[in-house]
Structure 1
Amino acid sequence: MGTNQNLTVAERIRKQFDSLTRAERQLANAILEDYPVSGLGSITAVSESSGVSTPTVARMAKKLGFGGFPQMQAQLHTELKATISSPIAKHDLWSESAPDTHILNRFADAVTENMRQTLKQIDPEEFNSVVDLLSDLKREIHVVGGRITRSMADNFFTHMQVMRSGVTLVAPNSNTWAHYVLNMNEGDVLVAFDIRRYEHDILRLAEVAKARGVKLVLFTDQWGSPAAKLATYSLNSRIEVPSAWDSLVVTLFLVEAVIAGVQTQTWNETKSRMKTLEELFDQTKMFKKFI
């Protein structure tokens, strides 16, 4: 399997999509539609649900670097187990074979590898399209995060609000989300954060927003949130580290890279807003002056 051995099935599909035949692309899209569950049936069931032949399923599995469909399916089972792992299960998994080195080194190695793998999978054109979408001042932007990822959402919102108008941070309490959806219009953008142990509320909000013609930009993990099937653009980052919790270091990297891209695109507007903001800071004496 070579360099593919650390990649998820979805990452392999995205990496090799352009080299697939038309039938294989049809199969790939079907698998990604309800990933990874869509690939867990028998080879006959997968072929029938995808509308392709069983030899097509077997060929694509080998083209993705597996010995055959059973090996690809075993990988999907492993991924499904990983996506529903509790913090205790994640801790037990890595601690069983943890190398006898300092946690700083082990954690740094894991984060570095996550960054390397993520950058290999990011499509620069798709990244540019995300920046273009968020830089369009005619579109309102709505930002939402989950139980853990709401810190990412808040970070993203704070920077975007400085750079442009029309940005709303959706409150973490899903009971109030209907009020936010009321203000979403066709062509607006919903930026959502959702990593494993994916949250039902995020998916439901994405469904309602899409029904109103809102475009979804999704920050998720290597397996992909169920909301990914609704996303106009999905930015996937690797999150596994030697910890009971997943790491958002690479997710934050992508967030800050997007922010930098939007800042470049909207600099005239951003510069004006930042000057006004600094004047307001001075009026409210928010920051200490040393000179």
Structure 2
Amino acid sequence: MASITLGWAPAELSLAKDVWGACGKAIRAVWQTGCVTVQRVEVADRIRAHGDHLTGAERRVAEAILAAPHRIAFGTVAELAERAAAGTSSVIRLAAKLGFDGYSDLQDCVQQDLASQLRPAAERIHEDRDDAQAAHIEAEIANVSSTLEGVDQDALTMVTGRLARLDAPLVVVSGTASSGVVSQFVADLGQLRPDVQVLSGSPISVTRDISLLPSNAVAIVVDLRRYEAWVLDAHRQLGERGIWSIGVTDSLLSPIAQRADVALVVSARAVGPFDSHVGTLALLNLIVAGVATRLQSSAAARLSLVEAAWNATGVLADEQ
């Protein structure tokens, strides 16, 4: 990932929040009819898919879109071209290469992504569904399929390779909503290898723990839209320390993806008011399986010790 910092000034954040007011009716209609695109970050996904075929100027335009989508949402072709140090023709060519019907179509897609990212649960709870069970089944299966099918194999290989380095401590930072699935991820990794730590607590303790990390540590940062400020701040501090990081988030447009060395995107579509974490769990399980394969011998020894301890203490009530 390019090391682009997505800065949200107060005025820009206010503008971004107004996106929902501008296109909320269209987005709400899409959600209510069930015609929502499973992978919400359509612009970023298209850029990733076509990245190898972009010219230098087109790549600069793409990077400008990823770096500041909130500015692109209501900006003009000329403004985007100026930000990218490219011509307006490069903007139009990029839109066409990404499959959009002109710049306004690309801009509409950016607006819709920002709108879906910024919608709070207090608004989403008012959406009505006729067949909630069927909608949930469809959404969760789609979340898993979209997340796992969208994983870049080179990125996954790099991630599991980093996590399998036994001399490199691992630190995990998670937002509150994703902390449940992350706790299972940390427990699983901790059985496969030593030195797996969760960063949490007050700003004082988080800053202290980051300052004491060795330079070869690896960080995993997990959070979805409406990102928690302390998570972003911890990620910033890790970056300033030169700590290599993996971002697990719901958008390549997110500040976590922009700061991470490798970003893995999850689908979090939900029928109810809260985001789904099924896709996140599936991705983390995939990572654990990859690490287990790399550490098969040493991990097997650790798992044998754990199993022997459980059997000796009788803590598991297995059926006889």
Select 1:222's aligned residue among 221, 241, 251.
251
Partner of 1:147: 176
Determine helix, strand or coil for the equivalent of 1:168: strand
Q: CA deviation at 1:6?
A: 6.5
Q: CA deviation at 1:115?
A: 2.9
8 Å contact kept, 1:91–1:242 = no
Q: CA deviation at 1:169?
A: 1.4
Tell me, in whole angstroms, the C-alpha distance in 2 between the residues paired with 1:267 and 1:90.
Answer: 44
Moved more, 130-139 or 167-176: 167-176
Partner of 2:14: none
> Per-residue CA shift, 1:22-65, capped at 9, x if unaligned?
2111221222223x224232211111111111111111112112
Matched, 1:39 2:72: yes
Inter-CA distance 172–149: structure 2 relative to 1 (3 Å threshold) = farther
Could you tell me which amino acid in structure 2 is paired with residue 43 of structure 1?
V
> Per-residue CA shift, 1:5-34, capped at 9, x if unaligned?
975211111111112222111221222223
> Per-residue CA shift, 1:175-214, capped at 9, x if unaligned?
4201221222212111111101111111111111111111
Matched, 1:253 2:282: yes
Could you tell me which amino acid in structure 2 is paired with residue 272 of structure 1?
A
1:74-223 to 2 correspondences below 5 Å: 74-92=108-126, 94-95=127-128, 98=129, 100-101=130-131, 103-222=132-251
Could you tell me which amino acid in structure 1 is paired with residue 174 of structure 2?
G
Matched, 1:267 2:296: yes
Matched, 1:52 2:62: no
Partner of 2:263: 234
Could you tell me which amino acid in structure 1 is paired with residue 114 of structure 2?
L
Tell me, in whole angstroms, the C-alpha distance in 1 between the residues paired with 2:152 and 2:246.
Answer: 14
Determine helix, strand or coil for the equivalent of 1:218: strand
Could you tell me which amino acid in structure 2 is paired with residue 149 of structure 1?
S
8 Å contact kept, 1:4–1:65 = no
Tell me, in whole angstroms, the C-alpha distance in 2 between the residues paired with 1:259 and 1:149.
Answer: 17
8 Å contact kept, 1:118–1:238 = yes
Tell me, in whole angstroms, the C-alpha distance in 2 between the residues paired with 1:236 and 1:5.
Answer: 9
Tell me, in whole angstroms, the C-alpha distance in 2 between the residues paired with 1:143 and 1:206.
Answer: 10
Inter-CA distance 255–224: structure 2 relative to 1 (3 Å threshold) = farther
Q: TM-score, normalised by structure 1?
A: 0.90
Tell me, in whole angstroms, the C-alpha distance in 2 between the residues paired with 1:149 and 1:5.
Answer: 19
Q: CA deviation at 1:263?
A: 0.3
Tell me, in whole angstroms, the C-alpha distance in 1 between the residues paired with 2:312 and 2:196.
Answer: 24
Determine helix, strand or coil for the equivalent of 1:138: coil
Tell me, in whole angstroms, the C-alpha distance in 2 between the residues paired with 1:51 and 1:118.
Answer: 34
Could you tell me which amino acid in structure 1 is paired with residue 138 of structure 2?
D
> Per-residue CA shift, 1:214-273, capped at 9, x if unaligned?
111111113543121111111101111211011111111000010000001001111111
Tell me, in whole angstroms, the C-alpha distance in 2 between the residues paired with 1:184 and 1:30.
Answer: 33
> Per-residue CA shift, 1:47-88, capped at 9, x if unaligned?
111111111111111211211111211221121121111112
Partner of 2:309: 280
Partner of 1:71: 105
Inter-CA distance 131–25: structure 2 relative to 1 (3 Å threshold) = same
Tell me, in whole angstroms, the C-alpha distance in 1 between the residues paired with 2:312 and 2:203.
Answer: 36
Inter-CA distance 124–82: structure 2 relative to 1 (3 Å threshold) = same
Unaligned stretches of 5+ residues in structure 1:
none
Moved more, 223-232 or 211-220: 223-232
Moved more, 192-201 or 272-281: 272-281
Tell me, in whole angstroms, the C-alpha distance in 2 between the residues paired with 1:7 and 1:229.
Answer: 14
Higher relative contact order (CA 8 A, sep 6+): 2
**Over the residues paired in the alignment, what is the CA RMSD in angstroms?**
2.1
